[in-house]
Structure 1
Amino acid sequence: MIRFFAAASIDGTTVVHDPAVGSNHLPPQPVPLGRVALDERQVTAWPEADPARLRPSAPLSMCWSPIVRCNLSCPHCLDDKTVRESTSTERQTLAGHIAVSGVLGVDISGGEPLLLGDLPHLARAIREHGRAVVSCTTNGWHLARRAEELTGALDAVRVSLDGATEATHDTWRGEGSFQRAVTGIRAAVRAGLRVQLQMVLMRSTHREAQSLLDLAAQLGAGGVTFLQMLPIGDGASIAAEQMLTDDQAGDTFSALDIPDGIRVRLRTRGSADGFTVLRADGYAWRNTGAATGITAFIQVTGPQDLRLPTVRSGS
């Protein structure tokens, strides 16, 4: 599949960011800088970059959560629901700051980003300088009705599924959420969007990891990212009961039989350490301490404010 990636030169080293998987790669041959169309199979074969060794001035990738509202109430949600949401004008200003910050990949999350009427405009504003690629992470409930509209605005869509079955997923996300997500995934694939499934690994769900890979292949998704649960937000109250160690998550991951054409990634808590998040109120923070806490709060008033101190492996 030919799709868009973002490439930049950092102290003479070229790095390519994948907006679907969230990974960073080192191409063995020269590639154009900025937004660049590449063969996904080729990028997959390139070695992954360690951002901590590159030491970029800005994060290679970040999450922007411009909305707190959500139609679901997931017990493992890490979002701070007390945060004030930015106005439409403030969101456009923040999108402009992100666009010129040097960040290669921006994942628009929430809350539920598909509740934002201006989501396509925000994504295009970030992309308009020709530097960054943009994805969004969604629960999929509204994806079917918005898939066509998002084609051409987003470079990838990440859909959260907490199990490969309706029973497991709906236990965590509410009745009907599995079927709505699956319907949305099919609509997004038909519309030509690159879809990546995302599963939070928990003690009660990780045994369905293989079945989720098989489901991804059946639905036409491009891959699955397995995320270690973070003990932040609502998830802090169930962390002791549900969190796997990174070693346990690694054992689950290494046992997978990966279908042809499916991209898989495991994001451990260790690799999420240092990841940058821009909140709905315009303040930025980083994960710290193996992604078990938060540090470096700063109000973003310009692109320079996204260059938070202590760029670590998850950036």
Structure 2
Amino acid sequence: MIRAFAAATFDGTTVVHDPAVGTNHLPPRPITAGCLGLDDHEVAAWPLADPAALALDYPLSMCWSPIVRCNLACPHCLDDKHVRESTAAERSAAAGHIAASGVLGVDISGGEPLLLRDLPDLALAIRRQGTTVVSCTTNAWHLARRAPELAGTLDAIRVSLDGATAATHDTWRGQDSHRHAVAGIRAAVAEGLFVQLQMVLMHANKHEAQQLLELATHLGAGGVTFLQMLPIGEGEALAAEQMLTDEQAREVVDRLTVPDGVRVRLRTRTSAGGFTVLRADGFAWRNTRDATDISVFIPVTGPGDLRLPIPGSAS
């Protein structure tokens, strides 16, 4: 499948960012800078890039949470629900800062981003310069309704599923959440959106990891990302009971039988270290290197403010 990626060259090293999976790759052949269509099978076979090894002064990719509101109340949520939510004008300005910052990819999250009427406009504003690809992470309650207007504005959509079955997923996300998510995934795929499923991997749902891969195939999703729980926000209270070590998570993923055409990634806490997040109130932070806390907390008033120093570095 040909889909959207973003590429840039840093001190002679070309990096390609995958907006669906969230990975960065080192192409073995010359690649044109900017947003471009590439075969996802080919990109998946390329070596992974280590952002820390590139000595960048800004992140390759980031998360933007322009909304605090959510229609669900998940007990493992990372978001700080006490911050002020941005106005439409502030969201528009932030989108411009992101577009001009040099990042290759941004994932619009929340809260629940599909509650934002201006979501398509924000995505288009970021993509307008032709250098950044845009994904969106959603619980998918409203995806079936909004999929037609999101097609053509997003490069990928990531749907949170914390269980392959309704019994498990709805335990974490609330009654009927699984049904709405499945309907949303079907609608998004029908509209030509590339869908990546995401599961916060915990002791309570790790037994359904294989079933989730099979569900992805059945629904036409392109892959599954297993996210290690981060002990940040409300999820901190569940860490002792539910959090796997990176080694335990790797054992779960290594035992899976991956169907043809399905992209599987494990985002360990180690790989989440140093990741940049822009909050709804206009402040940005980077995760600490072990992704157990936040650091480098500053207000973003222009593109340069997103060039946060990496925790533990001399910069």
Specify the TM-score bucket, using the shorter chain as the normaliser: over 0.9
Query: In the alignment, is the contact (CA less than 8 A) between 1:51 and 1:312 conserved in 2?
Result: no
Deviations 1:30-52 (A, max 9, x none): 11100011111111111110101
Q: TM-score, normalised by structure 1?
A: 0.98
Indicate how the Cα distance of structure 1 residues 129 and 311 shifts in structure 2: closer, same or farther if over 3 A, else same: farther
**Aligned partners of 2:177, 2:227: CA distance in 1, in Å?**
19
Does the residue aligned with 1:91 lie in a helix, a strand or coil?
helix
For 1:46, the equivalent position in structure 2 comes to 46
Percent of pairs identical after alignment?
72
Query: In the alignment, is the contact (CA less than 8 A) between 1:7 and 1:15 conserved in 2?
Result: yes
**Which region of structure 1 is more displaced relative to structure 2, 289-298 or 114-123?**
289-298
Deviations 1:2-24 (A, max 9, x none): 11100000111000000000000
For 1:220, the equivalent position in structure 2 comes to 220
Query: In the alignment, is the contact (CA less than 8 A) between 1:20 and 1:194 conserved in 2?
Result: yes
Query: In the alignment, is the contact (CA less than 8 A) between 2:57 and 2:309 conserved in 1?
Result: no
Query: In the alignment, is the contact (CA less than 8 A) between 1:66 and 1:91 conserved in 2?
Result: yes
Q: How far apart are 1:311 and its partner, in Å?
A: 6.6
For 1:182, the equivalent position in structure 2 comes to 182
For 2:199, the equivalent position in structure 1 comes to 199
**Aligned partners of 2:130, 2:183: CA distance in 1, in Å?**
32
Query: In the alignment, is the contact (CA less than 8 A) between 1:68 and 1:83 conserved in 2?
Result: yes
Instruction: Determine if the alignment matches structure 1 residue 122 to structure 2 residue 130.
Output: no
**Aligned partners of 2:178, 2:118: CA distance in 1, in Å?**
25
Q: How does 1:56-75 map to 2 (within 5 A)?
A: 56-75=56-75
Deviations 1:241-267 (A, max 9, x none): 110000000000100100000000000
For 1:15, the equivalent position in structure 2 comes to 15
Unaligned runs of 5+ in 2: none
Indicate how the Cα distance of structure 1 residues 312 and 222 shifts in structure 2: closer, same or farther if over 3 A, else same: farther
For 2:171, the equivalent position in structure 1 comes to 171
For 1:160, the equivalent position in structure 2 comes to 160
Q: How far apart are 1:238 and its partner, in Å?
A: 1.0
For 2:261, the equivalent position in structure 1 comes to 261
**Aligned partners of 2:32, 2:208: CA distance in 1, in Å?**
40
**Aligned partners of 1:64, 1:120: CA distance in 2, in Å?**
14
For 1:111, the equivalent position in structure 2 comes to 111
Q: TM-score, normalised by structure 2?
A: 0.98
Deviations 1:278-301 (A, max 9, x none): 000000001114110010001000
Does the residue aligned with 1:100 lie in a helix, a strand or coil?
helix
Does the residue aligned with 1:5 lie in a helix, a strand or coil?
strand
**Aligned partners of 2:269, 2:278: CA distance in 1, in Å?**
19
Amino acid at match of 2:292: T
Deviations 1:64-94 (A, max 9, x none): 0000000000000000000101100000000
**Aligned partners of 2:141, 2:152: CA distance in 1, in Å?**
20
Runs of 4+ in 1 over 6 A off after TM superposition: none
Indicate how the Cα distance of structure 1 residues 109 and 34 shifts in structure 2: closer, same or farther if over 3 A, else same: same
**Aligned partners of 1:28, 1:53: CA distance in 2, in Å?**
17
Amino acid at match of 1:129: Q
For 2:229, the equivalent position in structure 1 comes to 229
Q: How far apart are 1:55 and its partner, in Å?
A: 1.6
Deviations 1:75-123 (A, max 9, x none): 0000000010110000000000000100000000000000000000000
Does the residue aligned with 1:266 lie in a helix, a strand or coil?
strand
Indicate how the Cα distance of structure 1 residues 149 and 309 shifts in structure 2: closer, same or farther if over 3 A, else same: same
Query: In the alignment, is the contact (CA less than 8 A) between 1:59 and 1:311 conserved in 2?
Result: no
For 1:99, the equivalent position in structure 2 comes to 99
Unaligned runs of 5+ in 1: none
Does the residue aligned with 1:27 lie in a helix, a strand or coil?
coil
Q: How far apart are 1:57 and its partner, in Å?
A: 2.0
**Aligned partners of 2:254, 2:108: CA distance in 1, in Å?**
29
Amino acid at match of 1:276: T
Q: How far apart are 1:58 and its partner, in Å?
A: 1.2
Q: How far apart are 1:166 and its partner, in Å?
A: 0.3
**Aligned partners of 2:268, 2:312: CA distance in 1, in Å?**
14
